[in-house]
Structure 1
C-alpha cells in the first residue's frame, strides 16, 4: 500500500499553496492549512539540504571532544 501522497502538476501545487496560505491567514488555528504551503513548495529547499547532508557525510568529518575547565 502506498502513502497518501498525491502527485500534482505545477499549477495545482501553486493553487494548493495559495489557497492554503489564504485559509491559514483567515484561521491560523488550522495546522493543515499552515503546513500545506511548505509541503507543496518546499521540494527545492529539501533537495538542497539533502545534497548538503550527503556532501558532509562524504567528507567524513571527525568529531573531537575536549573538556574545557571553567576555573
Structure 2
C-alpha cells in the first residue's frame, strides 16, 4: 500500500504531499522532520492509503483549501 507524508500549514492551508513506497518510510521521514520542526502551525502526518484519490476523501480537511 502506498503511503503519504502530509505537511500542512494550519493557519494558511498550504499543503505539501509526498508519496512513499511504504508507511514505514513515510513514518521515518515524519519522525525526522518532527525533530527539527519549530513551527507550531505545521502539522506533519504519515498515512497509508490505497490511492491519492482515497486519501483526499479520507483526510479531506487537509485538501479543502487546495
Shared fold by TM > 0.5?
A: no
Q: Normalising by the residue count of structure 1, what TM-score does the alignment of the two structures yield?
A: 0.32
Structure number having the greater strand percentage: 2
Q: Looking at both structures, which has the greater relative contact order when contacts are Cα pairs under 8 Å and sequence separation is at least 6?
A: 2
